[in-house]
Structure 1
Amino acid sequence: MATQWLQLRAGKRAWLQIKEQGLSEADIKLLVGASGGPKWFVLQGLDRYLFGELFAQREQPLDLLGTSAGAWRFAALGQKDPVAASELFARLYSTQTYSAKPDVKEITDEARKLLAEYIPDNAVQEILSQERFRHHWIVVRCRGLTASEGKRQLVGLLASAAANSLKRRWLGKFYERVIFHHPASPATFAEHWNDLPTRFATLSQDNFKQALLATGSIPLVLEGVRDIPGAPAGIYRDGGVTDYHFDLDFSGVDGLVLYPHFHHEVIPGWFDKRLKSRRTSGSLWPNVILLTPTQEFIDSLPYQKIPDRKDFAELDASERIKYWQKAVDQGKWMADQLHDWIATDKIRDHVQLWQ
């Protein structure tokens, strides 16, 4: 029996539809990408398949929702050659190196250099002038001490974490969710997201790179992005603070939601990682298809784990780069399996009900 590298779980509505009809690219109306830093390397093979094959001839609009690494991954879509762009991003990110003890400025400067090479000005124009792939990025606008840098920011983070542990909606006292969206998208699927203070801003040539940098600006690791054009004045940081793996209402999506994810758990916000009672489930997302690596896949990786940011500190640069490239290479196994399941209609046999 062939090894199964990919696990496919679906909410009840999506599960029934796949069981009855299989899955075609036209069924999918929203593609979702989570925060998680280098964890995304195991998904790059899936991205290559989705960007270069499944959605390559798509005619109807596909909405994209991402925070942090998810938003950066999806910035390849809408470019002239999205597969080449995705591979470039993987190479630039995986080969980043820093001094022995990098500070916030050094890490921020390196992120800006990566962004300039990955998304040159002509790529911004390409993305904004097409309407097939409609980007939506979540960024948080900070309030109070969370808008500071250094120790004052740490105090604000600790206070917001404490508030979140009591009630998630209390995060709204510290952060405002801002959804930057493609100019061709009315973002109607998100108009009822009122669990936290939420507002919308249109992506433009003037703010595209700043918004993308902001959604990956991890607190205490990178500098916040100040006063993004087309959005309220303030300090903006990583969208994963409020929406790490998402716990949002997708019922406004007129179709299925495809979510390639690197972990079997879906954690709503950054501060919920240790709150085991807070996990998103298929019962909350009836139209979502969740794709994740199996334990067999994870066990096949070096160190029997997917990459993470700790690797910067725990491995020397050459070993880390080799390990991360291995994760990218092996991720193609999941892509090949998904391609086979869709092409042969075996996906009906492999989809599980996610509850």
Structure 2
Amino acid sequence: MATDWLQVRAGQRAYQHIKEQGLSAADIQLLVGASGGPKWFVLQGLDRYLFGEFFADRQQPLDLLGTSAGAWRFAALGQRDPVAASELFCRLYSTQTYSAKPDVQEITDEARKLLAEYIPDSAVGDILQQDRFRHHWIVARCRGMTAIEGKRQLLGLLASAAANRVKRQWLGKFYERVLFHHPASNATFTQQWNDLPTRYAALSEQNFKQALLATGSIPMVLSGVRDIAGAPAGTYRDGGVTDYHFDLDFGGVDGLVLYPHFHQEVIPGWFDKSIKSRRTTGQHWPNVILLTPTAEFIEALPYKKIPDRTDFAKLDAEQRIQYWQQAVEQGKWMAEQLHEWIATDRIREKVQLWT
């Protein structure tokens, strides 16, 4: 029996739809991408298939929601050649190297260099002038001590983590969710989001790169981005702080939600990693289709794990780059299976109810 490298789980509504009708690009209204740094390398094959084939002939607008690495991945969509852009981002990110002990400034400078090469100014215009792929990025606007740079920021992080542990809603005392959205989108699918203070700002040629850099600006690792054009004044950091893997109300989405994810678990916010009771499931998301690597896929990877940021410290540059590129290549196995299952309609038998 052939090995399944891909697991397809779906909430009740999405599960019923696939069982009865299969799956087509027209069924999807929202594509979701999570934070997670290098973990996304195993998804690059799926991105290549989705960007280059599955959604290639789509005419109606597709909403995109991302934080951090998810937002950066999706910035390939709307460019003239999204597959080439995705592969460029993957190559630039996977081959990054730093000094033996890089500081915040060095890491921030490297991120800015990567962004400039991945998304030239002409690409920003292309993305904003089309409306088939409508970007929505979440960025965390800091309050109080979380806005401070340097070691004192840690006090703000500890206080916000403690508040979040008591009640997730208390995270709003330290961070405000800001949704940067494509100018052609009115972001109506987000109107039910009332778990945290939420503001909106339209993406523009003036703030596109600022907002994208900000949504990947990990606290204590990269500098925050200050005073983004067209948004409230302040310091902005990684959108994963508030929305790591998401626990948002998708009831306002008119259609199904496709979520290629690197992890079997869906963790709401950055500070929820160790709080096992906080996990999002298909019971919360009846219209979501979750695509994840199987245990067999992970077992077949070098080191029997998906890439993560600790690889920078644990492996030398040559070992790390080789490992990450192997993860990218192996990720194509999942893409090939998804393509085959959709084309042959086997997706109906492969989908599992996500409870």
- TM category (shorter chain) comes to over 0.9
Which residue does the alignment assign to 1:133? 133
User: Is 1:149 aligned to residue 149 of structure 2?
Assistant: yes
Which residue does the alignment assign to 1:210? 210
Residue 192 (structure 1) shift: 1.5
The secondary structure found in structure 2 opposite 1:151 is: coil
Where do residues 224-235 of structure 1 align in structure 2 (5 Å cutoff)? 224-235=224-235
Where do residues 115-130 of structure 1 align in structure 2 (5 Å cutoff)? 115-130=115-130
Where do residues 35-184 of structure 1 align in structure 2 (5 Å cutoff)? 35-184=35-184
What does the per-residue CA deviation read over 1:67-106, in whole Å, with 9 as the maximum and x for residues that have no partner?
0000000000000000000000000000000000000000
The secondary structure found in structure 2 opposite 1:199 is: strand
TM-score normalised per structure 2: 1.00
Which residue does the alignment assign to 1:307? 307
Structure 1 residues not aligned, in runs of 5+:
none
Residue 150 (structure 1) shift: 1.4
User: Is 1:32 aligned to residue 32 of structure 2?
Assistant: yes
Residue 5 (structure 1) shift: 0.1
Where do residues 229-244 of structure 1 align in structure 2 (5 Å cutoff)? 229-244=229-244
Indicate the percent of aligned positions where both proteins have the same amino acid: 82
User: Is 1:23 aligned to residue 23 of structure 2?
Assistant: yes
TM-score normalised per structure 1: 1.00
The secondary structure found in structure 1 opposite 2:152 is: helix
What does the per-residue CA deviation read over 1:267-310, in whole Å, with 9 as the maximum and x for residues that have no partner?
00000000000000100000000000000000100000000000
Aligned-partner residue type, residue 195 of structure 1: D
User: Is 1:287 aligned to residue 281 of structure 2?
Assistant: no
Residue 153 (structure 1) shift: 0.7
What does the per-residue CA deviation read over 1:224-246, in whole Å, with 9 as the maximum and x for residues that have no partner?
00000000000000000000000
User: Is 1:268 aligned to residue 268 of structure 2?
Assistant: yes
1 CA distance for matches of 2:347 and 2:16?
A: 12
Aligned-partner residue type, residue 190 of structure 1: T
The secondary structure found in structure 1 opposite 2:219 is: coil
1 CA distance for matches of 2:353 and 2:141?
A: 36
Q: Which runs of 4+ in 1 moved over 3 A?
A: none
Residue 151 (structure 1) shift: 1.9
2 CA distance for matches of 1:299 and 1:150?
A: 39
RMSD: 0.3
1 CA distance for matches of 2:51 and 2:308?
A: 24
Structure 2 residues not aligned, in runs of 5+:
none
Which residue does the alignment assign to 1:185? 185
2 CA distance for matches of 1:219 and 1:60?
A: 37
Which residue does the alignment assign to 2:4? 4
